[in-house]
């Protein structure tokens, strides 16, 4: 079954059945990925364009690999986004891609809403690989997939997401997706990085990490953009790490063998200690593997047609 | 001679809102009366041919005055020019428009102000009156030659588009402007609080991941400018007020007798931040669309007189500029052609504002504050008038807009209630929505 949509732009607009269908398909894809020879003819002749306005080797590579395993042809366009007023506009680039008759475009862009903007112009499908601070649906889906793999049904589970939630598309997508699956989500960060307006996501918001750790099944640390310190959003890495850094000691407060996640790349010693990052609790490498499976599932569900990969 | 018969006249300058007959002769209002016999009219015509217009079911009011338009000429004629902007004005019911000074170059010298005025005269539609900048080059540092610029025809001074961040420069401007008797129009925005924000900070911005601009970015400067105006005894007009806090600050300042007036833009009365969608750059505007509570406070402030006038802040941009991701599109809504209809449909027909107050706030109030002709239908005054058909419906489409810009949130939508005849100095310039 294909998804009844042209694009995957965010989890806010996705319903729970669609999310389950994607997770189910990703399970099959992961099985394929674990085979010694991982190459399928499923999407032979289909073309996938990776359009990346922000450098992100890990996300781009993950999408490329996913497309290649499924047998699609991939092209990568890396656009240096030095200034919005310089160079070709996204509108013109979209027109060019339209003329190339690509089947699917993967977009990473620094502007919130850019993926919807592109999807409105293109006949081809669009997968949002991160648009500004808005959404990063494939990251959230791979996070959810990883949590389910480890914890089973997520309904009623407690997930704490800690860090710079204001500027985080990962936090937003996870909040939407997890909420739909019945998870209790808590966003944590200093008031400057987890301000009241984040209440619009309909999840719990707090500034005190230690008070929400008891009972947490999952603790996810977000990457801290170090340049936020210069804008005055937090005073020092030292204090940030002291209040919000994940350490072995702090994680004991959950009272259970909690799962630790991080979307990467990590600032070791800032939001997560070396010891935690390398512990058995941390599923960070598994997240990377699952990322390929999730992206395979999405590409297949959007442009796979009737070809039956599951057989 | 023109005889407008049985038309509902709304003229707050004369406290009129009732069926009247109106006579216009030699470009001026000759008479207004609720009872006018054929003989009387014949007598007043003194042999001149009489053109009779049956105004039944329609409104007649003074040509509207818009104190805040960006006509983009000189320098950005791809967005708009004085001809296209003044055509858009009369199509929308405006017979006088004030042209903001943030053109390229900015209007900081008398010669430039005279150019704008002349271009308006050459265009021959609405009266186009220039606003000069407050500071040279709009740099917020040195004052312009205010007295000389007044001689050149400017009716106010404003660095609109930017705020004068240096409070001492603002204080000096409010002192020096007393030489001219003209107001300083302040665009209230603290640039540090506003930062590179894209919409009002709130749950909608939080949800969409668009950088927020707090309400305080406006209100702290409103407070500052009110204090400076009180201290100097200068004359202040606050552009595009958008927050409840600003309304309250103005209300209290007026109670103390501070020489201040304020305007509100139609889009801040109609929309709020929750109406913004990530791909809809037509609603990207500065000051940003505020919360529902702010909108309610603005409507209340306008109705009770705390806010003196409505102004469009007509801000035309090209389609290419607006066809960008939200963060990259410029701020601004082109509104001269839709503003009056939108206000009528969304605020008057819904009972949120009285029609009389809307007309007052868009004609008599600006005329009084800026010392302009017009804004009234008193006998002897210039016949700048609008005949408004409350039943006229129009789909807002690129093909019928005469502005160069298309950046309106009403594109593709139907609005009801439009000016169907517009006169400037008694000369018919628009009939049945077509320019003459
Ligand atoms: Zn302004």
Closest approach of chain A CAs to the CA of B353, in angstroms?
Answer: 31
How is the beta sheet containing A125-131 ordered, strand by strand? Answer: A73-78, A47-52, A104-109, A125-131
Lowest mean pLDDT segment, chosen from A97-106, A167-176, B104-113, B295-304? A97-106
Beta carbons of B402 and B87 less than 8 angstroms apart: yes
pLDDT band at A98 (very low <50, low <70, confident <90, very high): confident
Residues paired with A219 in a beta bridge: A160, A260
Beta carbons of A101 and A122 less than 8 angstroms apart: no
Lowest mean pLDDT segment, chosen from A39-53, B101-115, B138-152? A39-53
Pick from B53, B57, B20, B15: which is nearest to B376 by CA?
A: B15
Pick from B179, B177, B166: which is nearest to B138 by CA?
A: B166
CA distance A207 to B150: 56
ipTM value: 0.91
How far does residue B279's CA lie from ligand 1's centre (Å)? 23
Task: Report the relative pairing of strands B127-130 and B94-99 from DSSP bridges.
Answer: parallel
Name the CATH superfamily for B63-370: Metal-dependent hydrolases (3.20.20.140)
Print the SS3 string covering chain B: CEEEEEEEEEEHHHCEEEEEEEEEECCEEEEEECCCCHHHHHHHHCCCCCEEEECCCCEEEECEEEEEECCCCCCCCCCCCHHHHHHHHHHHCEEEEEECCCCCCCCCCHHHHHHHHHHHHHHCCCEEEECECCEHHHCCCCECCHHHHHHCCCCCEECCCCCCCCHHHHHHHHHHHHHCCCCEEECCCCHHHHCCCCEECCHHHHHHCCCEECCHHHHHHHHHHHHHHHHHCCCEEECCCCCHHHHHHHHHHHHCCCCEEEEECHHHHHCCHHHCCCCCHHHCCCCCCCCHHHHHHHHHHHHHCCCCEECCCECCCCHHHHCCCHHHCCCCECCCCCHHHHHHHHHHCCCCCCHHHHHHHHCHHHHHHHCCCCCCCCCCCECCEEEEEEEEEEECCHHHCCCCCCCCCCCCCEEEEEEEEEEECCEEEEECCEEC
Contact residues on chain B for A126, CB-CB shorter than 8 A: none
* Minimal-distance CA residue of chain A relative to B274: A200
Please, how many CA atoms are within 13 Å of residue B288, restricted to the half-sphere of its CB? Answer: 29
B292 touches chain A (CB under 8 A): no
CA distance A219 to A254: 9
Cβ–Cβ below 8 Å for B210 and A117? no
B193 touches chain A (CB under 8 A): no
A2-33: pLDDT as tens digits: 888 999 999 999 999 999 999 999 999 999 99
Cβ–Cβ below 8 Å for A199 and B212? no
B319 touches chain A (CB under 8 A): no
Cβ–Cβ below 8 Å for B279 and A117? yes
Contact residues on chain A for B276, CB-CB shorter than 8 A: none
CA B319 and chain centroid, separation? 23
Tallying the residues shown for chain B, one arrives at: 436
Identical topology for domains A16-135+288-303 and A137-284 = yes
Cβ–Cβ below 8 Å for B206 and A166? yes
Cβ–Cβ below 8 Å for B209 and A172? yes
CA distance A219 to A162: 7
Cβ–Cβ below 8 Å for A200 and B204? yes
Instruction: Write out the two tokens for B192.
Output: 């540090």
pLDDT band at A169 (very low <50, low <70, confident <90, very high): very high
CA distance A241 to B428: 72
Instruction: Write out the two tokens for A16.
Output: 């729970």
B288 touches chain A (CB under 8 A): no
What 3-state class would DSSP assign to A178? helix
Which residue intervals of chain A are DSSP H helices?
A: 16-33, 57-69, 90-100, 114-121, 137-151, 169-180, 209-212, 237-244, 248-251, 274-277, 284-303
Buried b (16+ CB within 10 A) or exposed e, B249-259: bbbebbeeebb
Cis preceding-peptide flag for B74 (omega within 30 of 0)? yes
Buried b (16+ CB within 10 A) or exposed e, B389-406: bbebebebeeeebbbbbb
pLDDT band at A81 (very low <50, low <70, confident <90, very high): low
B332-343: pLDDT as tens digits: 999 999 999 999
Class of domain A16-135+288-303: alpha beta
How far does residue B163's CA lie from ligand 1's centre (Å)? 8
**8-state DSSP, A135:** B
Mean pLDDT of A63-88: 79
Query: pLDDT at residue A85 above 50?
Result: no
B385-430: pLDDT as tens digits: 999 999 999 999 999 999 999 999 999 999 999 999 999 999 999 9
pLDDT band at A42 (very low <50, low <70, confident <90, very high): confident
pLDDT band at A84 (very low <50, low <70, confident <90, very high): very low
Residue B65, phi-psi category: left (phi > 0), alpha (psi -120 to 50), beta (remainder): beta
How far does residue B160's CA lie from ligand 1's centre (Å)? 5
Fold of B2-60+380-404+414-435: Urease, subunit C; domain 1 (2.30.40)
Closest approach of chain B CAs to the CA of A281, in angstroms?
Answer: 31
Cβ–Cβ below 8 Å for B206 and A84? no
- B313 tagged catalytic: yes
Q: Where are the domains of chain A?
A: 16-135+288-303, 137-284
Candidates B207, B211, B325; nearest CB to A200: B207
Which residue, among B318, B328, B329, B331, would best test binding to A if mutated, counting the most A CBs under 10 Å from its CB?
B328
Task: Report the relative pairing of strands B28-33 and B184-186 from DSSP bridges.
Answer: unpaired
The pLDDT, as a whole number, for residue A41 is 84
Instruction: Write out the two tokens for A142.
Output: 């791979």
- What is the dihedral sign for C-alpha A14, A15, A20, A21? negative
A212-271: pLDDT as tens digits: 999 999 999 999 988 888 888 999 999 999 999 999 999 999 999 999 999 989 999 999
The pLDDT, as a whole number, for residue A307 is 53
Q: Where are the domains of chain B?
A: 2-60+380-404+414-435, 63-370
Class of domain A137-284: alpha beta
* Minimal-distance CA residue of chain A relative to B198: A112
B1-56: pLDDT as tens digits: 999 999 999 999 999 999 999 999 999 999 999 988 999 999 999 999 999 999 99
Candidates B212, B323, B328; nearest CB to A197: B212
How far does residue B269's CA lie from ligand 1's centre (Å)? 16
CA distance B144 to B152: 13
How far does residue A299's CA lie from ligand 1's centre (Å)? 46
The pLDDT, as a whole number, for residue A308 is 58
B157-209: pLDDT as tens digits: 999 999 999 999 999 999 999 999 999 999 999 999 999 999 999 999 999 99
B116-165: pLDDT as tens digits: 999 999 999 999 999 999 999 999 999 999 999 999 999 999 999 999 99
Please pick, among B190, B225, B313, B384, the residue that the annotation labels catalytic: B313
Identical topology for domains B2-60+380-404+414-435 and B63-370 = no
A220 touches chain B (CB under 8 A): no
* Exposed/middle/buried for residue A37 (C-beta within 10 Å: 0-12, 13-18, 19+): exposed
Question: Which phi and psi angles does A28 have, rounded to 5°?
Answer: -65, -45
Task: State what percent of residues in chain A have pLDDT above 70.
Answer: 95
How far does residue B162's CA lie from ligand 1's centre (Å)? 7
Cα separations in angstroms, A210 against A243, A248, A259:
8, 13, 16
CA distance B190 to B195: 8
Q: What is the CA radius of gyration of chain A?
A: 19
Instruction: Write out the two tokens for A237.
Output: 């890495």
Please, how many CA atoms are within 13 Å of residue B83, restricted to the half-sphere of its CB? Answer: 4
CA distance A308 to B19: 75
């Amino acid at each position: 079954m294909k998804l009844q949509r042209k694009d995957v732009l965010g989890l806010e607009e996705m319903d729970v059945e669609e999310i389950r269908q994607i997770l189910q398909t990703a399970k099959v894809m992961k099985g394929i990925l674990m085979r010694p020879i991982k190459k399928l003819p499923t999407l032979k002749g289909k073309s996938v364009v990776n359009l990346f306005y922000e450098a992100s080797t890990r996300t781009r590579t993950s999408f490329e690999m996913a497309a290649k395993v499924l047998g699609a042809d991939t092209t990568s366009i890396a656009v240096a986004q030095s200034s919005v007023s310089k160079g070709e506009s996204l509108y013109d680039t979209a027109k060019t891609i339209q003329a190339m008759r690509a089947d699917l475009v993967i977009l990473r862009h620094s502007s919130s809403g850019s993926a919807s903007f592109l999807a409105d112009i293109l006949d081809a499908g669009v997968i949002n690989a991160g648009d500004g601070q808005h959404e990063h649906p494939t990251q959230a889906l791979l996070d959810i997939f990883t949590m389910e793999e480890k914890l089973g049904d997520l309904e009623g589970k407690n997930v704490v997401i800690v860090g710079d939630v204001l500027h985080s598309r990962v936090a937003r997508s996870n909040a939407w997706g997890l909420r739909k699956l019945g998870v209790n989500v808590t966003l944590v960060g200093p008031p400057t990085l987890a301000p009241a307006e984040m209440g619009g996501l309909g999840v719990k918001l707090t500034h005190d990490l230690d008070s929400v750790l008891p009972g947490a099944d999952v603790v996810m640390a977000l990457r801290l953009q170090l340049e936020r310190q210069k804008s005055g959003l937090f005073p020092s890495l030292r204090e940030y790490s002291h209040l919000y850094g994940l350490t072995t000691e702090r994680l004991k407060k959950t009272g259970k063998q909690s799962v630790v996640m991080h979307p990467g790349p990590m600032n070791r010693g800032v939001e997560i200690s070396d010891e935690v990052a390398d512990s058995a609790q941390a599923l960070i490498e598994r997240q990377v593997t699952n990322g390929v499976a999730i992206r395979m599932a999405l590409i297949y569900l959007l442009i796979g047609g009737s070809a039956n990969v599951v057989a | 001679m023109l005889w407008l018969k049985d038309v509902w006249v709304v003229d707050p300058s004369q406290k009129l809102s009732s069926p009247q007959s109106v006579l216009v002769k030699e470009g001026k209002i000759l008479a207004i009366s609720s009872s006018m016999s054929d003989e009387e009219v014949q007598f007043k015509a003194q042999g001149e041919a009489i053109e009779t217009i049956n105004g039944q079911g329609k409104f007649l009011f003074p040509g509207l005055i818009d104190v805040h338009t960006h006509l983009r000429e000189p320098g950005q004629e791809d967005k708009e020019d004085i001809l296209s902007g003044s055509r858009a004005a009369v199509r929308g019911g405006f017979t006088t428009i004030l042209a903001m000074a943030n053109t390229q170059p900015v209007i900081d010298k008398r010669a430039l102000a005279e150019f704008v005025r002349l271009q308006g005269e050459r265009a021959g539609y609405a009266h186009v009156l220039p606003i000069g900048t407050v500071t040279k080059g709009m740099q917020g540092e040195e004052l312009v030659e205010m007295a000389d610029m007044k001689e050149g025809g400017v009716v106010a001074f404003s660095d609109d588009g930017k705020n004068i961040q240096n409070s001492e420069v603002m204080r000096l401007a409010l002192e020096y402007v007393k030489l001219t008797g003209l107001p300083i129009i302040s665009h209230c925005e603290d640039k540090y609080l506003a930062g590179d924000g894209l919409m009002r900070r709130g749950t909608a911005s939080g949800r969409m991941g668009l950088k927020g601009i707090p309400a305080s970015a406006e209100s702290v400067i409103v407070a500052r400018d009110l204090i400076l105006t009180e201290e100097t005894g200068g004359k202040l007009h606050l552009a595009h007020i958008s927050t409840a806090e600003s309304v309250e600050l103005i209300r209290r300042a007026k109670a103390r007798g501070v020489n201040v007036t304020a305007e509100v833009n139609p889009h801040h009365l109609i929309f709020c931040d929750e109406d913004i969608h990530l791909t809809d750059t037509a609603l990207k505007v500065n000051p940003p669309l505020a919360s529902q509570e702010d909108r309610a406070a603005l409507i209340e402030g306008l109705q009770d007189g705390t806010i003196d006038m409505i102004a469009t802040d007509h801000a035309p941009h090209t389609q290419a500029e607006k066809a960008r991701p939200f963060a990259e599109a410029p701020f601004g809504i082109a509104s001269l052609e839709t503003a009056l209809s939108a206000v009528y449909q969304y605020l008057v027909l819904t009972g949120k504002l009285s029609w009389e107050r809307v007309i007052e706030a868009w004609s008599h109030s600006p005329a009084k504050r800026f010392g302009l002709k017009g804004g009234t239908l008193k006998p002897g005054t210039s016949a700048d008038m609008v005949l408004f058909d409350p039943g006229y419906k129009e789909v807002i489409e690129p093909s019928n807009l005469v502005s160069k810009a298309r950046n309106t949130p009403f594109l593709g939508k139907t609005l009801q209630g439009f000016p169907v005849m517009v006169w400037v100095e008694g000369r018919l310039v628009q009939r049945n929505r077509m320019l003459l």
